[in-house]
Amino acid sequence: MNYWYNVDTELILASRSPRRTEILGFAGVPHRVYPSSVEETSMEGPPADIVTHWAQAKAADVSHRFPDHPVLGADTMVFRDGVLLGKPQSTEQAFQMVRSLSGRWHTVYGGVALMWQSRGLSFSFAEATRVKFRELQDDEVRAYIATGEPMDKAGAYGIQGQGSVLIDRVEGCYFNVMGLPVSRFLYRFRESLT
């Protein structure tokens, strides 16, 4: 147990994201990975509502298997000028996504949901972080795409990896862009236990 995670049972992470596991590890949160089987489909509505919906769906999908553990669901989406930039399906699509972010601001929305059935505990929220890319040349975008890093990431970049060199500035939670707004999550978790 640590100060921020002061319960005697491990957290269940309803995600196979290695980045979320890494963030929880940074924070010293004991957890086990049990990915949700929820398949995301397209939805209409405000981005914050969409990511919260999917985070809740993932937590609910796994929480009935682990009623005596807190179960964390999370979702991340990247929006530029109202357009959703999901995970690229090809290197050409990745190139177009990254190129479209050059010199511009975009917003990363993170949805978080926690469910702990045996304690009747649940909460959810959305976090928004603004990110600005520096002006990029086509050859640097192609070189970044060639690393393979963008292919499993919303918006076709990873802030914590080689994509870090693409970014000019961040307004808000860095870890939200990486995959989980851990500070706000742990604060809300502690608050819910009192």
Active-site amino acid positions: 75
Q: What is the dihedral of CA 108, 126, 48, 166, to 10 degrees?
A: 0
In the structure encoding, which two tokens stand for residue 101, read together? Answer: 């972010």
Q: Report d(CA 133, CA 42) in Å as an integer.
A: 26
Cα–Cα distances in angstroms (integers) from residue 99 to residues 21, 53, 85, 135, 145, in the given order: 29, 29, 12, 9, 11
Cα–Cα distances in angstroms (integers) from residue 173 to residues 68, 122, 131, 143, 151, in the given order: 30, 22, 10, 27, 23
Q: Report d(CA 153, CA 77) in Å as an integer.
A: 9
